[in-house]
Amino acid sequence: MEDFVQNNKLILLGKLTAGLLHEIRNPLTAIKLNLDYMKMYENDLSDEMSESIASSLEAFDRVNFIISDLLDFTRKSMEPAKVSDINEITSRSIDILHVNADKKNILFVTELDKELPHIFLNENKILQVFLNLINNAIDASEEKSKIIIRTSNYTQNGVTGLHWEVEDFGCGIKECDKQKILDGFFTSKQTGSGIGLTVCKRLLDEIGAEFGFDSEVSRGSKFYINFNKSN
């Protein structure tokens, strides 16, 4: 019963967010038009004014990009699997979560293997997994710390695949909570729902990817995924 209530809340939230994003887009477009208009008269303006118009336009592009990405995300849950670039999905999730990280002055460090082969997956589902895991890392981190996101090729027992991980240096997970986390629907956060990791596990199970974590209290945590190359 609990699961349904939480799931429904999330679905509703998704719908509300999509509606809200559309609402935000209209006034943003008006702002953009006005900025473009001011830019046309750049020659009559002081350098400071031109600069502030340019930086406003840059800020607009950034917000617009994030909104498009989020709208895509809320729309595309049924999209088919296709040949995908894990590095690119990682960069997209970092772009989306930058704002949350900036609020705590957290630095994202990426160590992405450029030789990573593309694999067959549902990009949107993997984006959802990455967003959940990176978001948890942000929640666990102190102000001004860093979060490292890595990708690499791996070979284990003759099987080759793709490794993805996010490492934080935050609060870590208590021994007695580790099993509860794996069982799902567990939260230690006041406003958490405990659904994030449960969704990750389910989505990764669907494609037979291995999902796990290492964590030590007060040291931090590392959540990892091993994708099969046959995906």
Ligand X SMILES: Nc1ncnc2c1ncn2[C@@H]1O[C@H](COP(=O)(O)OP(=O)(O)OP(=O)(O)O)[C@@H](O)[C@H]1O
Residues of this chain that bind Mg ion (CB under 5 A): 136, 196
CA–CA distance, 52 with 222 (Å, rounded to integer): 41
CB of 117 to ligand X, least distance (A): 27
CA–CA distance, 192 with 176 (Å, rounded to integer): 18
Residue from the set 126, 127, 137, 207 that interacts with ligand X by CB under 6 A:
137
Residue from the set 84, 221, 225, 227 that interacts with ligand X by CB under 6 A:
221
Part of the chain binding ligand X (CB under 6 A), chosen from 41-49, 63-71, 108-116, 164-172: 164-172
Residue from the set 60, 120, 186, 224 that interacts with ligand X by CB under 6 A:
186
Residue 86: closest CA among 111, 103, 54? 111
Residue from the set 194, 224, 228, 231 that interacts with ligand X by CB under 6 A:
194
Q: Which two tokens stand for residue 173?
A: 């997970």
Q: Which partner from the list ligand X, Mg ion, none does 161 bind, CB cut-off 5 to 8 Å by kind?
A: none
Part of the chain binding ligand X (CB under 6 A), chosen from 28-36, 55-63, 94-102, 182-190: 182-190
Based on the shown chain and the rule CB under 6 A, indicate whether residue 136 belongs to the binding site for ligand X: yes
Cβ proximity of 199 and 148 under 8 Å = no
35-94: contacts with ligand X (CB under 6 A): none
Q: Which helix (H) or strand (E) holds 167?
A: strand 159-168
Q: Which partner from the list ligand X, Mg ion, none does 116 bind, CB cut-off 5 to 8 Å by kind?
A: none
Cβ proximity of 186 and 180 under 8 Å = yes
User: Given the complex with ligand X, which of 9 and 22 has the nearer CB atom?
Assistant: 9
CA–CA distance, 148 with 64 (Å, rounded to integer): 26
CA–CA distance, 195 with 224 (Å, rounded to integer): 18
Location of structure tokens 């960069």: 91
Surface-to-core class of residue 212, CB atoms within 10 Å of its CB (0-12 exposed, 13-18 middle, 19+ buried): exposed
Query: Which residues of the shown chain bind ligand X in the complex (CB under 6 A)?
Result: 132, 136-137, 140, 168, 170-173, 181, 186-189, 192-198, 221
